[in-house]
Chains A and B, each alone.
Chain A
Amino acid sequence: MMNAVWAFLMLAAILYALATGGEAELLTRTLLQSGEAAIALTLGLTGVIAFWSGLARIAERAGLVTGLGTMLRPLFVLLFPSLRGHSHVLTAVTLNVCATFLGLGNAATPLGLRAMTLLQEINPDKERASDAMCTLLALNTTGLALFPATVVGLRLAAGSAYPTAVVDSAILAGLAATVVGLACDRLLRRRWRN
């Protein structure tokens, strides 16, 4: 998929420029200078991701992820009615969403895949997504996060005077996306059986 998208973007740009008489030299320079720009972006966001991962690691060790999970448990019982009686599966699901929320980048995806594996064990049809899987995906495709480290790093690299200015706007927009995603999942899971 990515192969097709990337090839399409690259070829469309080059062929369009050649067809409309664009400067070959400008395009070549753009290609070569992308490396420098990519390094600047990468360094900026790496610094902030590392900062946040350090804090998130302390939070995890202090039991804040499991604590948040315990606090939000009633909400998850409501969101995943089919996991009644599968307490350990619900725990895995909760931990995944809480780790994502706190920005534990390295831990969140393994936790999510573990939750998917446990969900698959109790899934009657191994090729069809269960209701609980669909809800978990609705939460993860939105990936609501307390602190959007990557984009803050990007803003820092771009010389922003207020790199964290978008922390609250991103949370609000993310919340709206999450609510719509969950509502859509709720409405469609009865109708869209296959």
Chain B
Amino acid sequence: MAQLIVLLVCVTIILAGLLRRVAVFDEFVEGAKSGALVGLRLFPYILAMLMAVNLIGASGLLETLVARFGGWVELVGIPREIAPLALLRPLTGSGSLALTGEILRVHGPDSFLGLLASTVQGSTDTTLYVVTVYFGAVGIKRIRHTLFTGLLADLAGLVAAIIVCRLLFGAG
């Protein structure tokens, strides 16, 4: 199903482009150029966060924390390996990206944990970053319930990701 979505979207967009007399090749290249810059500019951020994430793994700190609190988070249905990601996701996009990469490396991208981590990473944006940038740009100081709302939505996304992944990809 998911594989089909990408191909269908691809066909739809190219057909729509031809219909509207868009220079599809030229525009694709133009878009890919700006997209490549977005990706490459992420490198220093990914490096910085990957250093931190890998260090926490290598130091044994993550293991200790997961062993200590793992039972509690599993009590509410969150796999213990996913708990650190759920905590990091609203705070830092590059950090959670690095951690997702690490989970994919350790458990495999197509394992249940790998699929769940990918879903958690891909289903929401970085709440803290968005709130900071959007309000910072226009000088809003009293942000009311927006941060709370963003974090609650992240929590809902996490719960939904666990349920959806269990349904789509089997238990785990």
Contact = CB atoms under 8 A, between A and B. Distances in A.
Interface residues of A, number: 110
Interface in A140-194: 140-143, 145-148, 150-155, 157-181, 184-185, 188-189, 192-194
B137 A116 contact: yes
A63 B20 contact: yes
A57 B38 contact: no
Interface in A40-68: 41-42, 45-47, 49-64
B78 interface: no
A93 to B, nearest CB: 12
Which of B48, B124, B152 has the most chain A CB within a 10 Å cutoff? B124
B17 A184 contact: no
Nearest to A175: B160
Contacts of B73: none
B98 to A, nearest CB: 7
A194 B157 contact: no
Contacts of A161: 110
Nearest to B16: A62
B110 A151 contact: no
Interface residues of B, number: 103
Contacts of B127: 141
Interface string A114-144: 0011011000011111000110111011110
Which of A2, A126, A133, A178 has the most chain B CB within a 10 Å cutoff? A2
B34 to A, nearest CB: 5
Contacts of B101: 37, 41, 154, 157-158
Interface of A: 1-2, 5-6, 9-10, 12-14, 16-17, 20, 22, 26-27, 30-31, 33-35, 37-39, 41-42, 45-47, 49-64, 100, 105-106, 109, 112-113, 116-117, 119-120, 125-129, 133-134, 136-138, 140-143, 145-148, 150-155, 157-181, 184-185, 188-189, 192-194
Given A184-B153, A188-B149, 13 more contacts: A16-B59, A41-B46, A50-B36, A53-B32, A54-B35, A57-B32, A129-B144, A133-B140, A138-B150, A152-B122, A160-B109, A167-B5, A170-B122
Give me the 3 closest cross-chain CB pairs, A-B, nearest first.
A57-B31, A53-B35, A46-B39
Interface of B: 1-3, 5-6, 9-10, 13-14, 16-17, 19-20, 22, 24, 27-36, 38-40, 42-43, 46-61, 64, 91-92, 95, 97-98, 100-101, 104-105, 108-110, 114-115, 118-125, 127-128, 130-135, 137-146, 148-150, 152-154, 156-161, 164-165, 168-169
